[in-house]
A and B are shown apart, each in its own frame.
Chain A
Amino acid sequence: MTGRGKRETLKDSAGKVLLEVQNLHATVEGREILRGVDLTVRAGEVHAIMGPNGSGKSTLAQVLAGHPAYVVTAGHVLYEGKDLLAMAPEERAREGVFLAFQYPVAIRGITNAYFLRAAVNAIRKYRGVEELGPVEFMDALEEKLKVIGWDSSYLSRPVNEGFSGGEKKRNEILQLAVLDPKLAILDETDSGLDIDAVKTVAQTVDKLRRPDNATVLVTHYNRILTHIEPDVVHVLAGGRIVKSGGKELALELEEKGYDWLREEATVA
């Protein structure tokens, strides 16, 4: 296939619905957190999901990734037309769904390089692609490291162990860059980062933007959105998306806070 043909294929996939969330309800420990979320994400898009504390932002991210502590009580989620909720978490990952964790977990005694290669190979195996040996993998990794401005010493450190909050978040972005998913969900990746780190993270995510993938950014703050321009901004409050709009909505939220929306939602 020629380069031109390939571009056209990418173009074709742009605009296709990648994720379709319909009337999603979910509970954790018996408490209902999501109360009917509707969300449509198309290939090529970046969506920002904002909202006050406890509105269900992280729950939505965890439910989409399949965390066992959350129980879906109603609704549907289609990913590339398939029933996402019927898939095991590892299957979702292998199908191209990636969650950058708000609180990345440490794994003692296992190096970052080993963990990353195990993940890459699990996904390659699932897709019927030949698994990568340590040497080939390290070569591929060098490039990705440069993108987030890390030297290779991070690869021989145990996964997230002894990492600062900022390093953990950067490590999530490194994994994102290496695994190259179709749908990336970033759960407050910007919180706890200083201004420079937010910029690096945002720029990396921006570089990974393609017409055939999509990103859902869960965030409290507008500042990350100054580096990644979102196509759609949603406000999640009380377990529902109460308002959606363009990037200007984020600015409005920063100015006015969330209270006016709550009132609006109650009135409605």
Chain B
Amino acid sequence: MTSGIEARVLQPYKYGFVTDIEAEVVPPGLSEDVIRLISQKKGEPEWMLEWRLRAYRNWLKMPEPHWANVRYGPVDYQAISYYAAPKRRPKLDSLDQVDPKLLETFEKLGIPIEERKRLAGVAVDAVFDSVSVATTFREELKKHGVIFCAISEAIREYPELVQEYLGSVVPYNDNFFAALNSGVFTDGSFVYVPKGVRCPLELSTYFRINAESTGQFERTLIIADEGSYVSYLEGCSAPVRDENQLHAAVVELVALDRATIKYSTIQNWYPGDEEGRGGIYNFVTKRGACRGQASKISWTQVETGSAITWKYPGCILQGDDSIGEFYSVAVTNHRQQADTGTKMIHMGKNTRSTIVSKGISAGRGQNTYRGLVKILKGAEHARNYSQCDSMLIGDTCGAHTFPYIDVRNSTATMEHEASTSKIGEDQIFYAKQRGLSAEDAVSMIVNGFCKEVFKELPMEFAVEAQRLLGISLEGSVG
């Protein structure tokens, strides 16, 4: 019955190309001197350097975690170069001044900035190998008092905000990879939305690892002040590499009273080839604090790339009546491994959280959902709804679910639903009998399976997500 459902053709990774820009790369290795060099190159104040060094010294004492349901060889942290910047980096007034090769790269990625500028008013802060090279619509945002800039710029320009909030959700010693990131992060985005402001644009950042063997350590900090709203879109793509590349980002969100942050991710880093060679190690710490009363943080992620994904975007529901949401689609094909899920920590009264996770495994992919819902003593009448669905394509892949529930208040209401289904020969045959091709049938079935998550994505992202899903699973059904 299953003979027809097997890997047939390996779809070459569509975004595999290397932009030929001379990068200013610090030699491989990590030491206090390297951190001092990074801090100096970024023109950072003393307190920032001190913070980095504290993180680094902590990191040295921490063991690398291996509890995730993923397997990989040892990472040599001394073999990674911790800083790379495109050499030509003048202050840019317009796109004309951007390196044409860079623009070409964005073109290949399907995000021509000029188009973006005209279309729908999406502001793009393009992070290219650790340094921001183009930021658009800054002026428009400024009118509303919204700050959207590179984190390194924020450190220089808005030190009070950064000092108050950086590390306040993910402390520098939170975990091994967060500590590493805190020591060596080179760039990322900073967003501040002032009181009562509804951010007029969807903020969009495209990350891209380019220089060979350069670890990417992004740091993103988003602060939504009282009564504000912001929607942030993060998309990633990386070129083909033989060596594994480490990506250890940290994202911190802070929502104050009645503020809402919607954070959407599409992650399609290079997944490695069919035999599992190459590909990105995506070890990310993402966490949001619903610090204010009736605040809300919503994470939506579509994870189709990376050789290994290890991430648990979570919410700390501190404020009474605050809401946390997590909507996830994770796809593993060939030899990809994903261990992903969320943490919802209920502290305030009447806090609510919703978890909808869809895992799709094909080829020899391994997909793990790992989630923690914790209701603390003071969280009167907290509610959680969790739904974890897994879909298997073929019979050489795996799906695993580890839901942890820790309830310390008897007034809590918990609901958990889980299902595992196999995309069947019968379903595909049914669609084929109505005239659809195998590819269209699979794409339709999988998209239907993911619908509850896709509907949470902004429109243009939803379209891209569907397309990516098709590319990721191409050739997985005969």
Q: Which residues of A contact B (CB under 8 A)?
A: 65-69, 88-90, 92-94, 98-99, 101, 104-105, 107-110, 115, 118-119, 122-123, 126, 158, 175, 179
Given that A108-B448, A109-B450 are contacting pairs, would A93 and B432 also be in contact in the complex, using a CB cutoff of 8 Å? yes
Q: How far is the CB of A57 from chain B (nearest CB, A)?
A: 17
Contact flag A89-B433 (CB < 8 Å), given A109-B451, A109-B452: yes
4 closest A-B pairs by beta carbon, nearest first, are A109-B448, A109-B451, A119-B434, A110-B448
Q: Which residues of A contact B435 (CB under 8 A)?
A: 90, 93-94, 119, 122-123, 126, 179
Contacts of A89 in B (CB 8 A): 429, 432-433
Q: CB-CB < 8 A to A94: which residues of B?
A: 435
How many Å lie between the Cα of A175 and that of B448 in the bound state? 19
Inter-chain CA distance A119–B440, complex, in Å, is 10
Q: Are A69 and B425 in contact (CB under 8 A)?
A: yes
Whether the Cβ atoms of B436 and A69 lie closer than 8 Å is no
B447 at the interface (CB under 8 A from A): yes
Of residues 1 through 24 on chain B, the ones whose CB sits less than 8 Å from some CB of chain A are 1, 3-4
- The answer for the CA separation of A123 and B438 in the assembled complex, in Å, is 14
Complex contact A88–B434 (CB within 8 A)? no
Question: Are B425 and A175 neighbours in the complex by a CB distance under 8 Å?
Answer: no
Q: Check B430–A105 contact: CB distance below 8 A.
A: yes
Which single residue of chain B is at the shortest CB-CB distance from A106? B427
Q: Does B437 count as interface, using CB distance less than 8 angstroms?
A: yes
**CB of B272, distance to nearest CB on chain A (Å):** 29
Interchain CA distance A115-B427 in the complex, whole Å: 13
Extra contacts, 20 of them, besides A65-B429, A88-B432 (Cβ < 8 A), are: A68-B429, A69-B1, A90-B432, A90-B436, A90-B437, A92-B433, A93-B432, A93-B434, A99-B433, A101-B430, A104-B430, A107-B427, A108-B451, A110-B447, A110-B451, A122-B435, A122-B437, A122-B440, A175-B434, A179-B435
CB<8 Å pairs between A and B, sample of 22? A67-B429, A68-B1, A68-B3, A89-B432, A90-B437, A92-B433, A93-B432, A93-B433, A94-B435, A101-B430, A101-B433, A104-B430, A107-B431, A109-B448, A109-B451, A119-B435, A122-B434, A122-B435, A123-B435, A126-B435, A175-B434, A179-B435
In the assembled complex, how far is the CB of residue A33 from the closest CB belonging to chain B, in whole angstroms? 15
List the B residue with the shortest CB-CB distance to A179: B434
Query: A65, A67, A89, A99: which has the most chain B beta carbons within 10 Å?
Result: A89
| Residue on A nearest B425 in the bound complex, by CB | A68
Residue from B426, B432, B452 having most chain A Cβ neighbours under 10 A:
B432
- Interface residues of chain B: helix, strand, loop or mixed (majority): helix
Give A118 to B447 CA distance when docked, in angstroms: 14
Could you tell me if B448 and A107 are in contact, using CB atoms closer than 8 angstroms? yes
CB–CB B444/A107 < 8 A: yes
Residues of B contacting A179 in the complex (Cβ-Cβ under 8 angstroms): 434-435
Give the number of A-B contacts (CB < 8 Å). Answer: 81
Establish whether residues B440 and A118, one from each chain, have CB atoms under 8 Å apart when the complex forms.
yes
Q: Verify if B70 is at the interface (C-beta below 8 Å from A).
A: no
Residues of A within 8 A of B432 (CB): 66, 88-90, 93
Residues of A within 8 Å of B425, CB to CB, are 68-69
Interchain CB contact under 8 A, B427 and A119: no
In angstroms, Cα B450 to Cα A68, docked, is 27
Write out the residue numbers on chain A whose beta carbons fall within 8 Å of the beta carbon of B451: 108-110
For A66, the chain B residues whose CB sits under 8 A away are 429, 432-433
Shortest Cβ gap from B299 to chain A (Å): 21
Residue of B nearest to A95 (CB): B435
A119 and B436: CB pair below 8 A?
yes
Report chain A residues within 8 Å CB of B429. 65-68, 89
Please, how many angstroms separate the alpha-carbon atoms of A158 and B444 in the complex? 12
Report how far A68 CA is from B435 CA in the complex, Å: 15
The reply to whether the CB of B34 lies closer than 8 angstroms to some CB of chain A is: no
B407 contacts partner chain A, Cβ-Cβ < 8 Å = no
A105 contacts across to B, CB distance below 8 A: 424, 426-427, 430
Tell me which residues across on chain A come within 8 A of B431, comparing CB atoms.
Answer: 107, 115, 119
Most chain A CB within a 10 A radius of its CB, from B434, B438, B440, B452: B434
Which residue on B lies nearest to A97, using beta carbons? B433
Nearest-neighbour CB distance to chain A for B4, whole angstroms, equals 5
What chain B residues lie within 8 Å of A68 (beta carbons)? Answer: 1, 3-4, 425, 429
Cβ of B137 within 8 Å of any chain A Cβ, yes or no, is no
Q: Which residues of A contact B4 (CB under 8 A)?
A: 68
Contact A110:B444 (CB < 8 A) given known A67-B429, A69-B1, A105-B426: yes
Chain A residues with CB under 8 Å of B430's CB are: 101, 104-105, 107
| Contact of B449 with A by CB under 8 A | yes
In whole Å, how far is A95's beta carbon from the nearest beta carbon of chain B? 9
CB neighbors of A among B260-278 (8 A)? none
Q: Which of B426, B427, B444, B449 contacts A118 (CB 8 A)?
A: B444
Whether, in the assembled complex, B445 has its beta carbon less than 8 Å from a beta carbon of chain A, the answer is yes
Once the chains bind, are B436 and A118 in contact (CB under 8 Å)?
Answer: yes
Note all chain B residues with C-beta closer than 8 A to A108: 445, 448-449, 451
Q: How far is the CA of A145 from the CA of B2 in the complex (A)?
A: 36
Q: How far is the CA of A155 from the CA of B433 in the complex (A)?
A: 19
Inter-chain CA distance A123–B432, complex, in Å, is 11
* Nearest CB in chain A to that of B452: its residue: A109
Nearest neighbor of A124 in chain B, beta-carbon distance? B435
Q: Min CB distance, B450 to chain A, in Å?
A: 7
Specify which of B434, B438, B450 is in contact with A115 (CB 8 Å cutoff): B434
B433 interface neighbour in A65, A110, A126, Cβ under 8 Å:
A65
CA–CA, A143 to B450, complex, Å? 32
What A residues does B434 contact at CB under 8 A? 93, 115, 118-119, 122, 175, 179
Minimum CB–CB distance from B435 to chain A (whole Å) comes to 4
**A59 to B158 Cα, complex, angstroms:** 73
Residues of chain B contacted by A92 (CB below 8 angstroms): 433
Chain B min CB distance to A222 (Å): 27
State the Cβ distance, B459 to closest chain A Cβ, in Å: 16
A265–chain B nearest beta-carbon distance, Å: 31
- Could you say which residues of chain B place their CB within 8 Å of the CB of A175? 434
